[in-house]
């Protein structure tokens, strides 16, 4: 799994390479805001405020690929209305991850603004699932810095709004009705990775078949996920967290799932049980994002663990080498060094 972002952008407007995590996020957490989108749009806003004609005259065409093969593009829009500066923010994902009707309904609430500062294009730019037009001139004209930052943060959460629509819909149903038994639903994440959603009475169960291309990663994941499922039982502060279970074989909820969508889950199966308290308005978006990025979270910890082990091994090797360097050399001819004691006696040290 590729967790790194690959950037290709114009030199002037492209943001510098940074960690994908937000500065306020902890180690291992994944920020729901895209630093790439936020910085690319912010650079255009600052250029507009500074009336940097040279920068604004340079077409913007910045692209990025994020984990789970999600693609971003921030491109300038040709001047159509009286010299206003606008950019298009596009997002695309592997086939099956985008459900247009639900996604655009959620985007209208979570991303778009009634004043037209952020609006959804009727037709997405070529190669992408959804495109949103940002009125840079309107943002730059705002004197309130906090308001400008709020809008930038809003558009940088485009990924969660668009691709979390299916899970968000089930959780909203859970919050509204208390949960009813329903058919198994699923959402492809990328090739070989699918998130299954099973609505049930009083709860929604989300199942991840964990597949890893590297067999060694699968072994590490098995150990990590076993502990991940057990840790909640021994910590009272996690009592309100979703219930987690880990299975080596497909759980009963997947009995109606197409075999080709389950695939070879060499890392086992992880189930999250979400209750009504996880779907309240103040927790809904955090729940959707944390569930959606679970596979990336696990992959991060696998890579982090491997890097830690390699570091420890290098330290151990360096320690052994330092010991060997301090060791006294032995004469290969077998002739020892002749030594003399304080009273004049001599001996040969072997």
The pLDDT of residue 348: 65
Average pLDDT, the chain: 82
How far is residue 225 from each of residues 140, 166, 173, 295, 336, measured CA to CA in Å? 47, 25, 29, 11, 59
CB neighbourhood size of 105 (10 A): 15
Q: What is the pLDDT of residue 151?
A: 92
60 alpha carbon, distance to own chain's centre: 25
Helices 294-326 and 284-292, packing angle to 10 deg:
60
The CA–CA distances, whole Å, from 121 to 24, 38, 211, 325, 345 equal: 32, 19, 36, 68, 99
Tell me the pLDDT tens digit for each residue of 58-115: 888 889 998 888 899 999 887 656 678 889 999 998 887 888 888 898 888 889 988 8
Q: Tally Cβ neighbours within 10 Å of residue 259.
A: 8
Question: What are φ and ψ of residue 311, in 5° steps?
Answer: -65, -45
- Do the domains 6-163 and 165-302 sit in the same CATH topology, yes or no? yes
pLDDT of residue 88: 92
pLDDT value at position 20? 34
Residue 256 DSSP class: T
Q: Round to whole Å and give the CA distance between 203 and 275.
A: 5
pTM value > 0.85: no
Type and span of the H or E element at 57: helix 53-57
pLDDT of residue 329: 65
CATH architecture of the domain with range 6-163: 2-Layer Sandwich (3.30)
Question: Tens of pLDDT along 312-332?
Answer: 999 999 999 888 888 766 555
Question: Residue 337: what pLDDT?
Answer: 63
Residues 174 and 204: their CA atoms lie apart, in Å, by 7
Q: pLDDT at position 73, please?
A: 92
CA 346 to chain centre: 73
All structural domains of the chain with their residue ranges? 6-163, 165-302, 309-349
What pLDDT is stored for residue 350 in this prediction? Answer: 58
The architecture of the domain spanning 165-302 is: 2-Layer Sandwich (3.30)
Q: How many CB atoms lie within 10 A of CB 266?
A: 17
The answer to whether 75 and 125 have CB atoms below 8 angstroms apart is yes
Residue numbers of the chain with a pLDDT score lower than 50: 1-27
Comparing CA positions, the residue from 193, 182, 198, 1 lying closest to residue 96 is 193
pLDDT for res 311:
92
Q: What are the helix and strand counts (H, E) for the chain? A: 11, 13
């Amino acid at each position: 799994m590729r967790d790194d972002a690959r950037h290709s952008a114009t030199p002037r407007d492209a943001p510098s390479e940074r960690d994908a995590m937000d500065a306020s996020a902890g180690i291992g957490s994944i920020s729901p805001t895209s630093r790439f989108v936020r910085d690319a749009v912010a650079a255009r806003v600052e250029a507009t405020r500074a009336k940097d004609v040279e920068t604004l005259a340079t077409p913007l065409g910045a692209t990025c690929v994020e984990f789970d093969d999600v693609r971003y593009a921030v491109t300038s829009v040709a001047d159509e209305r009286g010299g206003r500066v606008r950019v298009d923010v596009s997002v695309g994902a592997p086939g099956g991850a985008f459900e247009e009707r639900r996604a655009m309904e959620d985007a209208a609430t979570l991303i778009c603004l009634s004043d037209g500062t952020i609006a959804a294009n009727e037709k997405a730019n070529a190669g992408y699932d959804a495109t949103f037009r940002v009125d840079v001139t309107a943002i730059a004209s705002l004197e309130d810095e906090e308001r400008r930052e709020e809008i930038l943060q809003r558009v940088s959460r485009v990924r969660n709004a668009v691709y979390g629509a299916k899970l968000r819909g089930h959780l909203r149903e859970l919050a509204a009705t208390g949960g009813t038994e329903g058919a198994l639903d699923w959402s492809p994440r990328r090739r070989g990775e699918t998130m299954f959603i099973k609505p049930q009475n009083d709860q929604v169960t989300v199942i991840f078949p964990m597949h890893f291309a590297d067999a060694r990663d699968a072994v590490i994941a098995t150990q990590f996920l076993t502990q991940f499922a057990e840790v909640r039982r021994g910590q009272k502060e996690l009592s309100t967290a979703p219930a987690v279970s880990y299975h080596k074989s497909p759980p009963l909820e997947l009995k109606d799932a197409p075999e080709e969508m389950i695939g070879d889950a060499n890392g086992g199966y992880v189930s999250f049980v979400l209750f009504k308290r996880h779907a309240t308005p103040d927790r809904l978006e955090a729940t959707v994002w944390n569930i959606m990025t679970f596979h990336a979270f696990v992959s991060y910890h696998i890579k982090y663990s491997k890097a830690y082990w390699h570091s420890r091994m290098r330290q151990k090797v360096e320690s052994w080498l330092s010991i060997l360097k301090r060791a006294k050399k032995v004469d290969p001819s077998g002739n020892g060094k002749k030594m003399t004691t304080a009273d004049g006696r001599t001996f040969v040290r072997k």
